[in-house]
Amino acid sequence: MKSFRWLNFDVVGLQLDYYLPARDVKSCRPSPKLHNLVLNLSVFLFQSLRHPNLVNLIEVFRRKRRLHLVFEFCERTVLDEVEAHPHGAPEEVAQMIAWQTLVGLRYIHSRHCIHRDIKPENLLLTSTGLLKLCDFGFARSVSSPDGDLTEYVATRWYRAPELLCAMPKYGPAVDVWAVGR
């Protein structure tokens, strides 16, 4: 959502993360603790990762039991670019998108983090052509190779084989696989 920053009227992207908690499987009642944990992890990752190819988190605030995340504004997504070129994007555009995506992934992987939801909708483009990764809702820190991770992540079309086979141990390669899809 496009919005304006009150103090200096900068154009920003506003994500309203409504209080829609995950469901407790046993009782089918909302589990606000789990939902808040996921939101807090996402915000923590955004605040700790700074790179030109990652969307910049400007501000976080709560209002009426809703968490509001204010990001820098990006004009379009890679999905918009794909739809604008139904017979394939020009080679230089495709190379630029792939290169900048991999540079952003190299950075988050070097910080022991995996995105786990790389898809065209989560790759933003600024008016100057700079690509920015966004939506770190499924991202996780992977400081230990022995830790198990959930396999239910990522949009089905972009899932790596280890995710499709429900393997509990995987790493940054799942993000690289999604770029190649």
* pLDDT tens for each residue of 110-156: 999 999 889 999 999 999 999 999 988 788 888 655 556 665 565 67
Give, as one character, the DSSP assignment of residue 166.
T
Q: In this structure, what token pair is assigned to residue 22?
A: 């995950």
| Residue 104 amino acid letter | G
Q: Of 56 and 34, which is predicted with more confidence?
A: 56
pTM for this prediction? 0.75
pLDDT tens digits for range 114-123: 998 899 999 9
What is the average pLDDT across 1-14? 50
> At 28, is the secondary structure helix, strand, or coil?
coil
Q: Which CATH number fits domain 77-180: 3.40.50.300, 1.10.510.10, 2.40.50.100, 1.10.10.10?
A: 1.10.510.10
| Residue tagged 């995105």 (tokens) | 115
Dist CA 175 CA 181 (whole Å): 10
Helices (H), 18-77: 32-48
* Residue 10 among the catalytic residues: no
From 10, 117, 146, 148, the catalytic residue:
117
CATH number of 2-72: 3.30.200.20
Other beta carbons less than 10 A from residue 118's beta carbon: 27
